[in-house]
Every structure is written in structure tokens, then in C-alpha cells.
Amino acid sequence: MFVSDWMTRKVFTVAPDDSVSDAIRLIREKGIKHIPVVKDNRLKGIVSDRDIRDFSPSRATTLDVYELHYLLARTKVREIMKPRVFTTSPDTPAEEAAKLMYDQNIGCLPVQARRDHFRQGHIPRPCRHHRRKAQGAPDIYDYRGPPWLH
């Protein structure tokens, strides 16, 4: 199996000069966790829902709603993105890509056919539930308690 067999081909991207509000809107509308940051077909970085959550003020902030929206609209994605991005190619074995994601503790691996051109694809990290199920571990969601309760 190769990365090209597992990758998501429809990827939504943002530009470095887009606002954080635009990225938040895209994450909510599309139900995604990672957005590649692309400029002139070159991958510049990646922003995740966690990056946005870490940047956003806490609920205990003294900012009112209007100030908060103003702050998110004025802040550019390039200010909160991670510029160092691990990537892979479509012809990489899927096991190698999975090992890279596990070793580096990353949640998304963009796929590039060439170093200088971002290909529209990425591999999302499977959740722990799916990983355990694949390893043959008992499913915690199927656990119904000790046998004497049935």
C-alpha cells in the first residue's frame, strides 16, 4: 500500500495572509482539523484547530465579543501557523508515512508530488480508537461490564 491509496484528495487550504477568522470558519464548515497554508502552489506551513485554540483568548478574558472578533479578523494565519511541515510523496509506502506521523507525533501529513509544488492531498492521523481496533485490542466502546451484569 502506498500513500496515494490512503490520502484524502480534497484538501481545503488557506493563504498566509488570510485571517484567523477565515481559518476558523473553514474548520467549522468543513469539519476538518488541519489546514495547509499555501501560497503560489508552495506549502508554507500548516495550521490546526489546536493552534487556533491555543491562540484564542480563554473564556475568562476581559475582552468583549466585538474585541475578540476584531482580534481574530486582524491576526493573519502566518502568525500562528507552524512553518516546519513534515511531508511525504504519493509513492511512499503507507507504513513509512504512518511511522513518521507516530514518531513525530503529528496529526496530518501533507502529500507533495514535488518539493516545490503542493499536491492537493494529505493523510489524516487515525484516532486511537481505530488504531487499537486495527491492532486487535478490545474495543472500549463495546465493553459492557463484567459478564455477571448481563
> At residue 116, does pLDDT exceed 80?
no
Q: Tell me what percent of the residues of the chain surpass a pLDDT of 90.
A: 31
User: Closest by alpha carbon to 24, among 85, 73, 65?
Assistant: 73
- The closest alpha carbon to 127, from 108, 99, 145, belongs to 108
pTM of the entire structure? 0.74
> How are beta strands 42-48 and 108-110 bridged, if at all?
unpaired
68 domain residue, yes or no: yes
pLDDT digits (tens, 9 = 90+) for 13-50: 999 999 999 999 999 999 999 999 999 988 999 999 99
Rounded to an integer, what distance in angstroms lies between the CA atom of residue 140 and that of residue 104? 26
Evaluate whether residue 140 is within a structural domain. no
How confident is the model at residue 114, as a pLDDT? 73
CATH code for the domain of 113: 3.10.580.10
Domains contained in the chain, number: 1
Domain hosting 109: range is: 3-135
User: Is 75 a residue whose pLDDT tops 80?
Assistant: yes
Whether residue 56 lies inside any domain: the answer is: yes
Residue 146 inside a domain? The answer is no
143 lies in some domain: no
Residue 108 lies in a domain: yes
In a domain, 149, yes or no: no
Q: Is 125 a member of any domain?
A: yes
